[in-house]
Structure 1
Amino acid sequence: MIVHMLRFSFKETATEEDREHVLAVMRRTASVESVSFSTVGQSLDESGGFTHAYCVGIADMEALRRYMHDPVHLAGDPEIIPHLAKLAIGPDVSDDMTPTLAADILALHEEKVALYPEWAADLTPLLAA
């Protein structure tokens, strides 16, 4: 199982309606077939100024590939990203002890960046915040 975590905070300009919409879109993404379990809501650790979190459990690398390229996931990011002030990816964890797992996951991410450079360009400023 690969457990993928995001921590994030909203822009000050995000309305309550914007916030609820983003959380609903995240819950929709977290319900795709490749996700085994999920939770979306408040971060109980607000260190770093992160107020909310997204966590999904994904069975294996093949399911992770499907998740990353799922049309629901791809359609959701443009609805989410404009409302976020900052984003932290991870720490991810896994019970799969494959020594190359972190590198394999990074390779999938780099593949997605190559396929969707506009997505990467929109995401990068949030990670540097």
Structure 2
Amino acid sequence: MFVNLLRFRFKDGVSDEEQAEVLAAMRRTASLESSAFGVVGADLGDPAEGFTHAYLSAIPDLEAFRRYTWDPVHLAGDELILGKLAKMSAVRFADDDPAISQAMYAEVAAKQEKFPAWSQEVARLFGE
């Protein structure tokens, strides 16, 4: 099982309607058949950390992760979501073979290569 937890904050000026649209897109992605379960909602952590919302998806195995990464719903969500966010952080972990992370990050590297604008936007959100 691979778990991806993203904490984020919207950019100033993103309307309530736009926020609802982003959260709906995240819920669609978290509900993909490749995800064992997912949750999207208010971040209940320390407000001083600057995050207002969180996204969590649990992916059962590497094959499901590949489907999740390349699913058209996920890709369309990325286009809608990323430009509306100001900041994001991630906690990622797996309970399986530690080598699985190498394969998963190789899949992410392939996505970065195919979609360089996506890669740049993600780097911006993580402050890289």
* TM-score (normalizing by structure 2): 0.92
Letter in 1 for 2:84: H
Give distance in 1, aligned partners of 2:20 and 2:113.
Answer: 31
* TM-score (normalizing by structure 1): 0.91
Secondary structure at the counterpart of residue 39 of structure 1 = strand
Q: Deviations over 1:8-34 (max 9, x none)?
A: 001111111111111001001111110
Give distance in 1, aligned partners of 2:98 and 2:118.
Answer: 29
Counterpart for residue 119 of structure 1:
118
Taking the TM superposition and a 5 Å limit, the aligned residue runs for 1:59-70 are 59-70=60-71
Q: Deviations over 1:81-112 (max 9, x none)?
A: 111001112x112221x131222222111111
Letter in 2 for 1:20: A
Q: Deviations over 1:32-57 (max 9, x none)?
A: 11011000001111352111100011
- 1:66 Cα shift? 0.6
Give distance in 2, aligned partners of 1:104 and 1:88.
Answer: 21
Counterpart for residue 78 of structure 2:
77
Counterpart for residue 51 of structure 1:
52
Letter in 1 for 2:68: Y
Which runs of no fewer than 5 residues in structure 1 stay unpaired?
none
Secondary structure at the counterpart of residue 114 of structure 1 = helix
Q: Mean alpha-carbon deviation: is it higher for 28-37 or for 64-73?
A: 28-37
Give distance in 2, aligned partners of 1:27 and 1:112.
Answer: 21
RMSD: 1.4
Give distance in 2, aligned partners of 1:111 and 1:35.
Answer: 20
Secondary structure at the counterpart of residue 126 of structure 2 = helix
Counterpart for residue 25 of structure 2:
25
Query: Identity of counterpart residues, as a percentage?
Result: 44
Give distance in 2, aligned partners of 1:93 and 1:121.
Answer: 23
